[in-house]
Amino acid sequence: MREDAWSGKDVLSILDFSRADLETLFETADGFVNRPGSVPKSLTDRIVATAFFEPSTRTRLSFSTAALKMGAKVIDLSPDVSSVLKGESLSDTIRMLESYSDLIVMRHPSEGAALLASEVSDVPIVNGGDGSQHHPSQAMLDLYTIRKLKGGVDGLRYVVLGDTRYARTAASFLYGLAKYDPKSVYLVSPEGLRLRNEVRNMVDKLGLKIEELDDLEPILDKVDVIYMTRIQKERFPDPNEYEKVKGSYRINKMVLSKAKDAIVLHPLPRTNELSYDVDDLPNAAYMEQARLGVPVRMALLHLVLGERGR
């Protein structure tokens, strides 16, 4: 067990964690999933602060649920009723939360916001998503879901579909995959939504080989995992660009008839890129993925905060 990688640490990017660190996380989560009755109340008397400067439902609520299940109390900064509106700087807000809490889960639209927060805070910062690259707990639960449903992450064939430019989940997932040994990784996205150079460079540096394609069709029967991303209107500088691509790269029952054994992951919420007729297919793994967000985040909070007092 490499708990030292976690205890008291910030969780800013999946890049900061080794494969062995992730295995520690996943084994801890396994314990919580397999023996729910034995979940330790290791966060008793701890305060977890949630600070979401961008809307979020799954991330905020699943972290809150995870914290509460481990015995912590949760305080929530709602940005609309906050000093942020009075023009307070992020570092002042974080220093306030730091003095009230034992750990801060934050989301912020700006790249590097979580890193900045970690520099001013003595309590651990968990990045619930910032900028367009990092959403570590999402990538961790994505990998955990694959590990659980496919028996492992290595040796599989992946396609990341849709918005690979603005979706931080896509970049984080690739960074996570780079810790493993996938057989192949395809990226299928429209021209305006291709990978950013900084992400492509990082993926190269990490030694992850990816192949970019315009169309899903030719590789549909060659993939084990389809990782979808929502095509988010709010990520587009130009609304016309959004209108052009919003229907592309849609997955439905008919499409999946050519990919019987592939599981479909999606961080959710979905818009129209993922059809409801997929929900009842054995391919659909996204609801299980959302559900597993709670034990993975419980494990994360336990390793970061629960171990400290021992």
Chain contacts with its own copies (rule: CB under 8 A): 45, 47, 49, 52, 55-58, 60-62, 64-65, 68-69, 73, 75, 77-89, 92-93, 95-97, 99-101, 230, 232, 234, 268-271, 276, 287, 290-291, 293-294
Is 205 considered catalytic here? no
Cβ-based neighbour number of residue 281 at 10 Å: 15
Minimum distance, C-beta of residue 75 to its own copies, in the bound complex (Å)? 5
Element (H, E) at 228: strand 225-228
- Distances in Å between the Cα of 293 and the Cα atoms of 13, 26, 62 are 17, 11, 6
Per DSSP, the residues of 88-129 read --HHHHHHHHHHH-SEEEEEESSTTHHHHHHHH-SSPEEEEE
Is 20 or 276 the residue whose CB approaches its own copies more closely? 276
Minimum distance, C-beta of residue 266 to its own copies, in the bound complex (Å)? 10
Is 135 considered catalytic here? yes
Is 29 or 97 the residue whose CB approaches its own copies more closely? 97
Is 86 considered catalytic here? yes
Is 91 or 110 the residue whose CB approaches its own copies more closely? 91
Q: What is the dihedral of CA 213, 215, 221, 224, to 10 degrees?
A: 60
Q: Which of 135, 165, 235, 302 is catalytic?
A: 135
Q: Which of 46, 69, 107, 266 is catalytic?
A: 107
Is 59 considered catalytic here? yes
Amino acid identity at 153: V
Element (H, E) at 203: helix 197-205
Pairing verdict, β 157-161 and 73-77: unpaired
Q: Which of 28, 50, 59, 229 is catalytic?
A: 59
Is 42 or 62 the residue whose CB approaches its own copies more closely? 62
Active site (catalytic) residues: 58-59, 86, 107, 135
